[in-house]
Amino acid sequence: MINICRWFFLGLYNIFTLIPRYLITGFICIIDPKKGEVLKYKGRPVIPIAMISLTLSVYLICIFFTSRWYVQKLKINYLTADILETTKVLENEKKEVISDENYEPGNDDKYANISFLSVDFDDLLKKNSDTKAWLKVSNTNVNYSVLQSNDNEYYLKHDFYGNSNFGGWIYGDYRDDFTHFGNNTIIYGHNLINKTMFGSLTWCQRESWYTNEDNLYIKLSTPTSNTVWKVFSIYQIKPEIYYLKTFFETTEEHQEFLNTLKKRSIYDFGEDINYDDKILTLSTCSDDGTKRAVIHAKMIKAEYR
């Protein structure tokens, strides 16, 4: 922000000091071409008005995009604060685990002290019927409602209320089943420079984050269930679709997929992953925008409403 202000005022200074001089000189060159021929740069004649017009255009375009970015950032901050303020989000001390007939969470005693996240979705669903879940990642800024459209493009450029916004919103892959959960539940979000949306998710690549056991439990609440997922892999990779698979022809293919995700991790979390585990994938861009920052976690606890 300091650099933006610095260049903004430097640009204004250049406009008020250089434009009048070059503008007047340019008009003189147009009125009297002979005088324009006298003005040379490296031996070539120049038309100052053309140069300054180009400079002014570029500057004004930069001001426009910077202003739009700042306004939309404010909108995202306002929306986030408003939704958090009007949504009842509770973390229970302990909850009895109730599994559906198709799911066995494993050794629940091991995770008995890990609390669930419970959210009242009534108001959220009234505001946007695309609301499917609420996601929280410890020691990051990720504490958002999760939306889902019939494609993976809409909420890249639209906010919670469906208004156009470059920051988009947190959203689930159109193939996700937030009721029963499939082999791979995928959630996306932009890596924004102000660390909203999934901008803070890259903090999970810091040793201080992933070596803290308390940070490894990701909590997801939906209108029909509350679940806890434990991280088993964190990494960066060039853009690809492999880790975004949700369907597998055979159990061997599925197990190989899970083994690959685990091997990619920058840290060995010591978690056993089997093809009957349900996994959660969080995906965003790396800080430099050239790669994907990815987190995988497996479901360890679930309660169904």
Residues 121, 134, 183, 176, CA torsion sign: positive
Of 29, 62, 204, 285, which one is the catalytic site residue? Answer: 285
Q: State the number of CA atoms in the 13 A half-sphere of 138 facing the CB.
A: 21
Q: Which residues pair with 110 in a beta bridge?
A: none
Is 285 annotated as catalytic? yes
> Could you give the residue ranges of the DSSP H alpha helices within the chain?
2-31, 33-38, 48-86, 122-127, 207-210, 251-264
Amino acid at 180: H
Q: Closest Cα partner for 271 from 303, 234, 245, 239?
A: 234
Task: Give Cα separations from 80 to 75, 170, 219, 222 (angstroms).
Answer: 8, 11, 18, 18
Task: Give Cα separations from 76 to 9, 152, 201, 232, 301 (angstroms).
Answer: 26, 20, 17, 31, 32
Distance, in Å, from the CA atom of 116 to the CA atom of 137, rounded to the nearest integer, reads 12
The b/e string for 184-209 (b: 16+ C-beta within 10 A; e otherwise) is bbbbbbbbbebebbbbbbbbbbeeeb
Distance, in Å, from the CA atom of 204 to the CA atom of 217, rounded to the nearest integer, reads 12
- Residues designated as active site: 285
